[in-house]
């Protein structure tokens, strides 16, 4: 009986960890979307000078694209 309770607690903990991982991954992806929207606004507002005035925002967007990808909870070792 105790083994069943321990197994249930282990499964619940694993599901909670999985949910947290997926949720954090989606939050990071939405942050990238917000930065992209701000970059669009900056480019439209600055016009021809957007290459200089929005450079920091475009660099931030590119680094966030590389780092904040949506990742699943499964890990496959190759």
Cβ-count burial 45-75 (b if 16+ within 10 Å, e if not)? eeeeebeeebeebbeebeebeeebeeeeeee
Instruction: Please tell me the distance from the alpha carbon of residue 47 to that of residue 71, in angstroms, as a whole number.
Output: 35
pLDDT in tens, 37-68: 999 999 999 999 999 999 999 999 999 998 88
Contact 21, 75 (CB under 8 A): no
Enter the DSSP assignment of 73.
S
Q: Give the model's pLDDT for residue 76.
A: 60
pLDDT in tens, 11-41: 898 889 888 888 888 899 999 999 999 999 9
Residue of 76, 70, 74 whose CA lies nearest to 24: 70
């Amino acid at each position: 009986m105790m083994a069943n309770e321990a197994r249930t607690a282990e499964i619940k903990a694993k599901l909670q960890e999985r949910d947290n991982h997926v949720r954090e991954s989606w939050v990071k992806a939405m942050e990238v979307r917000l930065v992209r929207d701000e970059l669009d606004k900056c480019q439209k507002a600055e016009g021809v000078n957007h290459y200089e005035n929005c450079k920091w925002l475009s660099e931030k967007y590119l680094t966030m694209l590389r780092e904040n990808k949506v990742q699943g909870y499964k890990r496959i070792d190759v």
